[in-house]
């Protein structure tokens, strides 16, 4: 069936370049046929981006599976509404830059997890180059780093400043092309002339080699000297970035560092409600709670979930209201662990077995490093995979109050972001936990 082929194609392309965009679209079975594959995107920005950059990739992937190359069409779910809300290519003295207008401070939902990042980026946007230079925002994927970076850019554009937004990958490609074409003066002029330089996912520069990092270093110094604003995002704190020259790391740390943590439940719920309003999807509180408690913390995935529910309900459902059962079916691949089945005892038992520490030891505070780590993993799993409240978790693990739980979650987040081996260990425990509680 075409739908199976299309979903295989999507799954495949979601692992490669452009996955952040491709993961946002879904296949529209109803309007597709052997010669035409239609996909639905959340907005025109994503639709156009995929259309221009990845159409051929899609065609080839279909051809590899069916022997036939269909035309690829990417539509927006609600074309008329997004038209005023799309990315725009902004021509300024610094050259052309792509800013997504729908990433702004007004529609960024603020909670404890991201308040500091929000406040600081806003202060930077109010007075670029004056305070906090550079600002370095780090945290896991899908928590709003790019959104805040674009928000700074959109504000700066309003002030008439020359803004460049690039991903570290684009910066690197630009560098390589200019070296090859012997046009480095052009490159230097472009990046050193701007008032605001926004570089997203700077961790990608790690593997870029000395020359590109050197160029970045000099660009950085020159911009800072003339009080141009630099804002950077990364998946890790600078000190955990591997493959960077020491002097660059110290430049990253020379302004302000701020992290975004995974959203707490109420923030997640507010984000879901805001997305539903924007997407014009009506979901009951019960469904919103279900999504908030069952999906992970990656907001991009949550947006994808809402998008799928919306699109599937338009394409397949004859019912007027979206029901929880319908949502469960649509999201079944996104939600791997059924939280209701997991109890705190399952977590302590699994962690005890995997890390070889007694359950009784895990449940009580300790100074022993291994026990501290085991407790932290348990607390993290309890928060993410059970329905227990923060005070409930605090009392189970003999912690003073819910802020002690928060402290542990923050530490866990830092470790997961900085230590890949630790991350893998936690993933393994998660898998065991899911199996044990089936």
Shortest distance in whole angstroms from residue 311 CB to ligand ADP: 16
Assign 337 to helix, strand or coil: coil
Q: Hey, how many other C-beta atoms are within 10 angstroms of the C-beta on 246?
A: 7
* DSSP type of residue 131: S
**For residue 308, how many C-alpha atoms fall within 13 Å in the half-sphere facing its CB?**
20
Residue with tokens 């955990």: 240
- What residue is closest to ligand ADP based on CB? 144
* Part in contact with ligand ADP (CB under 6 A); list of ranges 50-58, 105-113, 244-252, 286-294: 105-113
Q: Is 308 in the site for Mg ion (CB under 5 A)?
A: no
Of the candidates 250, 216, 231, the one whose C-alpha atom is nearest the C-alpha of residue 132 is: 231
Shortest distance in whole angstroms from residue 243 CB to ligand ADP: 20
Q: Hey, how many other C-beta atoms are within 10 angstroms of the C-beta on 391?
A: 12
Q: Which does 208 bind (CB under 5 to 8 A by kind): Mg ion, ligand ADP, none?
A: none
Q: Site for Mg ion (CB under 5 A): which residue of 146, 162, 234, 413?
A: 146
Run of H or E residues at 71: strand 71-76
Q: Are 404 and 418 in contact (CB under 8 A)?
A: no
Q: Which does 262 bind (CB under 5 to 8 A by kind): Mg ion, ligand ADP, none?
A: none
Q: Site for ligand ADP (CB under 6 A): which residue of 124, 161, 257, 271?
A: 271
Q: Which does 147 bind (CB under 5 to 8 A by kind): ligand ADP, Mg ion, none?
A: ligand ADP
Q: Are 408 and 365 in contact (CB under 8 A)?
A: no
Q: Is 388 in the site for Mg ion (CB under 5 A)?
A: no
Q: Is 129 in the site for ligand ADP (CB under 6 A)?
A: no
Q: Site for ligand ADP (CB under 6 A): which residue of 155, 279, 303, 346?
A: 303
State how far the Cα of 394 lies from the Cα of 409, in Å rounded to an integer. 12
Q: Are 5 and 17 in contact (CB under 8 A)?
A: no
Q: List the structure tokens of 122.
A: 């806003």
Of the candidates 434, 421, 430, 438, the one whose C-alpha atom is nearest the C-alpha of residue 377 is: 430
Would you say 44 or 149 has its CB closer to Mg ion? Answer: 149
Would you say 259 or 388 has its CB closer to Mg ion? Answer: 259
Q: Is 237 in the site for ligand ADP (CB under 6 A)?
A: no
Q: Site for ligand ADP (CB under 6 A): which residue of 292, 299, 344, 347?
A: 299
Shortest distance in whole angstroms from residue 182 CB to Mg ion: 32
State how far the Cα of 36 lies from the Cα of 66, in Å rounded to an integer. 13
97 strand-pairing partners: 90
* Part in contact with Mg ion (CB under 5 A); list of ranges 93-101, 142-150, 289-297, 344-352: 142-150
Q: Is 141 in the site for ligand ADP (CB under 6 A)?
A: yes
Would you say 114 or 313 has its CB closer to ligand ADP? Answer: 114
Residues engaged in binding ligand ADP (CB under 6 A): 103, 107-109, 114, 141-147, 271, 299-300, 303
Interacting residues with Mg ion (CB under 5 A): 145-146
């Amino acid at each position: 069936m075409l739908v199976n082929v299309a979903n295989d194609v999507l799954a495949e392309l979601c692992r490669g370049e452009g996955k952040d965009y491709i993961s946002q679209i879904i296949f529209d079975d109803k309007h597709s046929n052997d010669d035409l594959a239609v996909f639905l995107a959340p907005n025109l920005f994503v639709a156009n981006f995929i259309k221009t950059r990845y159409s051929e990739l899609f065609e080839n992937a279909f051809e590899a599976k069916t022997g036939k190359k269909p035309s690829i069409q990417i539509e927006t779910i609600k074309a008329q509404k997004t038209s005023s809300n799309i990315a725009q290519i902004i021509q300024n003295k610094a050259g052309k830059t792509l800013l997504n207008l729908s990433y702004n401070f007004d529609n960024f939902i603020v909670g404890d997890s991201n308040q500091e990042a929000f406040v600081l980026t806003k202060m930077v946007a109010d007075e670029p180059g004056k305070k906090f230079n550079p600002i370095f925002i780090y945290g896991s994927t899908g928590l709003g780093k790019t959104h805040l970076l674009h928000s700074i850019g959109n504000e700066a554009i309003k002030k008439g400043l020359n803004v460049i937004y690039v991903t570290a990958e684009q910066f690197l490609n630009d560098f390589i092309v200019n070296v090859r074409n012997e046009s480095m003066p052009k490159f230097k002029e472009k990046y050193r002339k701007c008032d605001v330089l926004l570089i997203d996912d700077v961790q990608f520069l790690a593997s870029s080699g000395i020359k590109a990092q050197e160029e970045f270093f000099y660009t950085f110094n020159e911009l800072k000297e003339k009080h141009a604003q630099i804002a950077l995002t990364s998946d890790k704190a600078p000190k955990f970035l591997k493959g960077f020259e020491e002097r660059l790391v110290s430049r990253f740390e020379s302004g302000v560092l701020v992290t975004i943590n995974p959203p707490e439940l109420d923030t997640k719920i507010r984000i879901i409600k805001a997305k539903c309003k924007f997407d014009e999807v009506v979901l009951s509180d019960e469904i919103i709670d279900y999504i908030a408690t069952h999906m992970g913390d990656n907001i991009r995935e949550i947006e994808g979930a809402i998008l799928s529910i919306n699109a599937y309900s338009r394409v397949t459902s004859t019912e007027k209201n979206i029901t929880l059962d319908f949502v469960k079916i649509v999201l079944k691949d996104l939600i791997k662990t059924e939280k209701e089945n997991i109890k705190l005892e399952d977590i302590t038992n699994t962690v005890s077995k995997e890390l070889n520490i007694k359950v009784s030891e895990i449940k009580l505070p300790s100074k022993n490093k291994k026990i501290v780590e085991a407790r932290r993993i348990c607390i993290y799993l309890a928060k993410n995979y059970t329905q227990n409240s923060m005070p409930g978790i605090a009392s189970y693990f003999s912690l003073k109050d819910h802020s002690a739980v928060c402290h542990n979650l923050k530490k866990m987040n830092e470790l997961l972001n900085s230590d890949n081996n630790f991350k893998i260990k936690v993933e393994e425990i998660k898998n065991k936990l899911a199996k044990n509680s089936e």
